[in-house]
A and B are shown apart, each in its own frame.
Chain A
């Protein structure tokens, strides 16, 4: 089976930085995805990590440590539009099957 844990909710101020952690235990691992999801909409792809280290994409960065079963998504220079749920998802070695964590709702305040 797979356990994917992330905090339920986080609050941050506009312009600040927020780090969303994700820990996982899985019987097979072929990468970890981060998605952003606004209420009532489908998830949109943010990042993919399969090797250890940091991947940076503009204001968003994602880090992976396979030995620790740990990832984080870093959001910098927060904007009001970043208020959304952020989903961590693990893909197993076979197929495109994604297993999602519970999601972290981020609220950005002025």
Chain B
């Protein structure tokens, strides 16, 4: 199957700082990438959908200015959590899809802890 690499796997940052998470498709061109957030013992909640070269589409209730998404190439999307606060602490997971495949492939996830 296709491989999606997410980095870092975990990060601890101070409140008020920004954190960037990278999602790379290693062996295919990802026309679409999805960013999810998962709080403990809850399911994955879609935050936004990003298409290469265009602006991301955010789900209702997700702040665009706080969660900046960039999908500059067909193999890389980044999520930047700006001015992070403790309530942003969560597990962030990306998935990548490409034309012709229904299945999207998941990255390993990033555990963000804001202290």
Contact = CB atoms under 8 A, between A and B. Distances in A.
Interface of A: 30-31, 33, 40-45, 48, 50, 87, 91, 95-103, 105
Contacts of A44: 106
Contact of B103 (A48, A95, A102, A103): A48
B54 interface: no
B contact residues, range: 20 to 34
Given A45-B103, A95-B32, A96-B104, A101 B43 contact: yes
B102 A42 contact: no
A42 B43 contact: no
A96 B105 CA distance: 10
Interface of B: 1, 6, 32, 34, 41-46, 49, 91, 93, 95, 97, 101-104, 106-109, 111
20 contacts: A31-B102, A41-B108, A42-B6, A42-B106, A42-B107, A42-B108, A44-B106, A45-B1, A50-B102, A87-B44, A96-B97, A96-B102, A97-B46, A98-B46, A100-B43, A100-B44, A102-B42, A102-B43, A103-B42, A105-B41
